Each structure stands twice: as C-alpha cells, then as structure tokens.
Amino acid sequence: MQRLPQVLQSQLLQPALITLLATLADGCRDIARQISRGAVAGVLGNAGAENVQGEAQKKLDVIANDILKALLLAEPSVRALASEEETEIVAANPDGRFLVAFDPLDGSSNIDINGSVGTIFSIFEAPGATPVTEADFLRPGRQQIAAGYVLYGPSVMLALTAGQGVQFYTLDPVSNEFLLTSERVAIPAQTQEFAINMSNQRFWAEPMRRYIADLLLGKDGPRKKNFNMRWVAAMVSDVHRILCRGGIFSYPWDRREPDKPGKLRLMYEANPMALLIERAGGEAWTDAAKILDLQPEHIHQRVPVILGSAEEVLHCISYHTGR
C-alpha cells in the first residue's frame, strides 16, 4: 500500500503543499494518540472555558487546537490559520503561501462517551498582500486548494482531496503511516438513508419538515421507498458514512436562534466537507445555494447544510426552491 507522501507526489502537487499536508497528518497522529489514551492521560471532560461560539470547551478541544496550532505556526508555508477554538485569525509566517482553517476536534460531545470524533481542515492559497487579515480567508470554498478530515474511529482514517478526486488513507498502527486504502471515493447518486437531528423538527422551516415527513412515509408515501436513519452527532463520522455508502446529511436552518442560520460553520466544517462531497460526485447545498459558491462574511459564520447523494440532495432542495 502506498504511503501518503508517495501518493501526493504522484499527484504532482507542489512540494510546499505536500509538506503542509504531511504536517497536518503528523498533528492528527498526535491527536489520535491523546484521544486513545483517554482517561489514562486525564484528557477527558471540560476545560472550564468557552470558545468564541459560546460552547463549553473540552480538554481535548484545547489539546487538539494546541497541537495543530504549534505545528502550523512552525511551518514555513503557512501565512495564517483560523480555528474554531481561536476568536481571531492567527498570523504565522509572512512569506507563507497558504491559509489553513480547521476544526481541531469535531463532534466533541462524543469525547466523554468514547464515540467517534474528527479533525477537519481547509487550505487556501494566500493572497500576495501582507499583513494578513481575516478578509484574506473570506473566499468562496470553490477556491480551496485542498480539504480533508481525519476520523478518530475504530481505525484512524484520513479523507483528502488535493489533486484528483477523493482518497481515503488508514493509519497503520504498526508503521505509524497513513496508507492509501481507497483510491477513488465515489458517492452513489441515490440513497435510502438520511442523517438529521430529528429532535429539532419543530424548529425547522416548513420545506425541511415536509421533505422529512415524506421520507418517513416510506413505501406508502410519495417517495415509494423506505428510508433508514443514522445520526452519529459528529459531522466527520456522518460525512464519512456518506462518502462510504451514500446518504443525505443535513443540519438545516432552524428558528431556535434566528440570527444563527444553522449550527455548522462555513469556513472549517461546511466548505471542506462540501469540496470532498462534490469531488466524490455528490452535492452540497445550503437551502438555497451551493455551499462552495457562498461568499463568506466572517470566519466563524454558520450556514445551513444539506449534502450527500446527488439525486437525493437535489430532491430535498426542490422542496426549498419550489422547482
């Protein structure tokens, strides 16, 4: 099996990007080690602070952020970073060519139950001008030059899109290397599986309520087929399942906090996942537009997310657009 750097070299990526991706992989290996030590290393539970989103930080949120931040600040090719756990962007090397946005530990409510969690990252080419500002990050996701996630599950897996298509790598605990285990990930266009937090149903907009109600009617309803439901409550795991076998995933707009148009963050959750999903043949939308075409307004912006198997996502969008 090919090692990660070998595959990236064969995709003819620029050497600086290969080095950066290898650095991110190194950081995620460290995070994986901390997660697997769990209570033995005293890394479970709350850190006792809140992040910029007003969410209680877990110790592992802070540990994962510190690991990636330290590595990226030491990486000559990184101009600046943006993280879910950092209020502002953090400037790195003025000569760096890349901007990196990341969610250091996605799905952190799973930490204390020994459930799957992940790390998500998105990379842009840095603009020429210095000093770097938040505005430099605010570009449509279609301009990402690479994106991916690491899933800390029964196996540690990396999903990456940088040159061509989407690849899966599995961390081999024997050699400590990420080895290529799926060369061309492709999402089936049709599905009978959906992922959504049903407990929020009463807060959804009417089109989403109608769409899910029709799925629940199964064979007896307008869809004329039964649907199954899955919800891991860690976006990395739910998206991984969709890349493996198809499905539709949504964290839709809801009216709990009308000034927050969704839960998931555009720059380090929706954008990187949308690039992976589109490159694997799927669709990724808010309720009205393709996620990758959105013009971001700030680094911690939230958006509704509907992504997965192409035909199913477009069917769901048709409830929203009336077309």
Contact set with ligand F6P (CB under 6 A): 106-107, 109, 197, 233-235, 238, 251, 263, 269
Span 253-282, contacts to Mn ion by CB under 5 A? none
Q: Please name the residue ranges forming H helices in the chain.
A: 4-10, 15-37, 59-73, 206-216, 235-245, 271-279, 310-321
**Contact partner, 312, from ligand F6P, Mn ion, none, Cβ < 5-8 Å per class:** none
Q: Which of 61, 75, 103, 177 binds Mn ion (CB under 5 A)?
A: 103
Closest CA to 288 of 260, 313, 309: 313
Considering only the stretches 34-42, 43-51, 74-82, 99-107, report the one whose residues sit in contact with Mn ion under the rule CB under 5 A.
99-107
First-to-last alpha carbon distance for the chain, in angstroms, is: 46
Name, in order, each residue with C-beta under 8 angstroms of 273's C-beta and a sequence gap of 6 or more: 120, 147, 149, 235, 239, 284, 305, 307
For ligand F6P, give the closer residue by CB, 225 or 255.
Answer: 255
CA–CA separation, 155 and 141 (whole Å): 29
Match 């919800």 to its residue by tokens.
231
- In whole angstroms, the minimum distance from the beta carbon of 37 to ligand F6P comes to 22
For Mn ion, give the closer residue by CB, 8 or 267.
Answer: 267
Q: Which of 61, 106, 254, 312 binds Mn ion (CB under 5 A)?
A: 106
- In whole angstroms, the minimum distance from the beta carbon of 17 to Mn ion comes to 24
For ligand F6P, give the closer residue by CB, 85 or 136.
Answer: 85
- In whole angstroms, the minimum distance from the beta carbon of 175 to ligand F6P comes to 30
Considering only the stretches 101-109, 159-167, 175-183, 277-285, report the one whose residues sit in contact with Mn ion under the rule CB under 5 A.
101-109
The total of other beta-carbon atoms located within 10 Å of residue 95's CB is 10
For Mn ion, how many residues bind (rule: CB under 5 A)? 2
For ligand F6P, give the closer residue by CB, 126 or 215.
Answer: 215
Cis peptide leading into 131, omega within 30 of 0? yes
- In whole angstroms, the minimum distance from the beta carbon of 242 to ligand F6P comes to 12
Name, in order, each residue with C-beta under 8 angstroms of 250's C-beta and a sequence gap of 6 or more: 194, 195, 196, 208, 304, 305, 306, 307, 316
Contacts with Mn ion by CB under 5 A lie at 103, 106
